[in-house]
């Protein structure tokens, strides 16, 4: 017994070092798997508060740009209003509002929630965006996130008032995306080199692709609504050993100055996910 105590006394520093190293590795392996970390919600609230203060100052410098983007988006949405269209067979204006459409039998599947970005990194290999909206304001893990220009990422941690988004610029981020013209679907990833380019993999070589083709979110994603803007094809690389192209996609959203985002809630997200995760019953 005395020898054990002497041993501990002699190698106390080394034992401390080992304990702290093991703690780091445990934290690291747990966080990269599930993003539900040891006391992380409390810590996120604190770092969130600091981010909030800083972004309050920084926001003033980009007000002009933010306003321009929001007015552009407003104009685009106004152009899609039904009362802008005239029925060709009559001289009357067709006015349809959304409540009538719902009573016709259409169900709402997606709800949009606005949120203010208070923290954002682009220089690391695993980048996250922090927003000022949490589970108390309706945020859930797995919600899709889009900005006025294009998609941004997926919610991975929802604290009471602050949430963290895994940005598309994360080495583990994977989103199902398709080409607009022929709906061929591939998987959208980031290779860690340039924050304005993503990689779209698994596009078969049979499809005809040109530079500048639009890439949208696909119909197969559980959290993203289909046909949201992702970006445009910037470069086409064909792997000689496989039957697939890997396309370099210029992102529609500028990750350097994301200010406001929309969180998209799919009402049937949990239902779809639980069905997809259970193995099919034997027929």
**Contact set with other proteins (CB under 8 A):** 12-14, 16-17, 20-21, 23-32, 37-38, 40, 43-44, 46-47, 50-51, 54, 119-126, 128, 130, 164, 171, 192-195, 256
Q: How far is the CB of 50 from other proteins (least distance, A)?
A: 8
Place of tokens 């106004």: 78
**129 C-beta neighbours (distance < 10 Å), count:** 27
Query: Which lies closer to other proteins via its Cβ, residue 173 or residue 217?
Result: 173
Q: How far is the CB of 235 from other proteins (least distance, A)?
A: 17
Question: DSSP class of residue 137?
Answer: G
Structure tokens at 179: 């080409």
Query: Which lies closer to other proteins via its Cβ, residue 120 or residue 218?
Result: 120
Query: Cα–Cα distance between 182 and 209 in angstroms, integer?
Result: 10
Query: Which lies closer to other proteins via its Cβ, residue 17 or residue 85?
Result: 17
DSSP secondary structure, 195-246, as one string:
TTEEEEEEEETTS---TT-EEEE-SS-SSSPTT-EEEEEEEEEE-TTSSEEE
DSSP secondary structure, 151-185, as one string:
EEEEEEEE-SS-EEEEEEEETT--EEEEETTT--E
Q: How far is the CB of 100 from other proteins (least distance, A)?
A: 45
Query: Which lies closer to other proteins via its Cβ, residue 126 or residue 202?
Result: 126
Structure tokens at 54: 């800083």
Question: DSSP class of residue 279?
Answer: P
Query: Which lies closer to other proteins via its Cβ, residue 142 or residue 192?
Result: 192
Q: How far is the CB of 255 from other proteins (least distance, A)?
A: 10
Q: How far is the CB of 128 from other proteins (least distance, A)?
A: 4
């Amino acid at each position: 017994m005395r020898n054990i105590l002497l041993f501990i006394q002699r190698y106390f520093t080394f034992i401390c070092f080992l304990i702290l190293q093991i703690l780091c590795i445990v934290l690291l392996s747990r966080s990269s798997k599930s993003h539900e970390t040891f006391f992380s919600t409390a810590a996120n609230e604190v770092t969130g508060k600091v981010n909030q203060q800083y972004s309050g100052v920084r926001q003033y410098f980009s007000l002009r740009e933010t306003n321009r983007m929001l007015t552009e988006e407003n104009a685009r949405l106004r152009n899609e209003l039904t009362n802008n269209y005239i029925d060709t067979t009559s001289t009357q204006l067709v006015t349809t509002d959304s409540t009538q459409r719902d009573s016709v039998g259409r169900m709402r599947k997606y709800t949009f929630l606005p949120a203010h970005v208070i923290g954002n990194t682009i220089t690391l290999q695993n980048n996250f965006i922090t927003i000022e909206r949490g589970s108390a304001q309706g945020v859930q893990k797995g919600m899709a996130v889009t900005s006025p220009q294009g998609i941004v990422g997926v919610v991975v941690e929802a604290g009471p008032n602050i949430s963290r988004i895994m940005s598309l610029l994360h080495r583990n981020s994977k989103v199902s995306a398709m080409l607009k013209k022929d709906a061929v679907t591939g998987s959208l990833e980031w290779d860690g080199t340039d924050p304005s380019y993503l990689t779209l993999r698994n596009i078969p070589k049979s499809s005809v692709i040109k530079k500048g083709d639009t890439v949208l979110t696909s119909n197969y994603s559980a959290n993203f609504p289909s046909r949201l803007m992702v970006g445009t094809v910037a470069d086409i690389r064909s792997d000689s050993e496989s039957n697939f192209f890997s396309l370099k996609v210029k992102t529609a959203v500028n990750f350097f100055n994301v200010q406001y985002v929309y969180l998209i809630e799919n009402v049937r997200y949990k239902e779809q996910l639980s069905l997809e995760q259970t193995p099919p019953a034997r027929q």
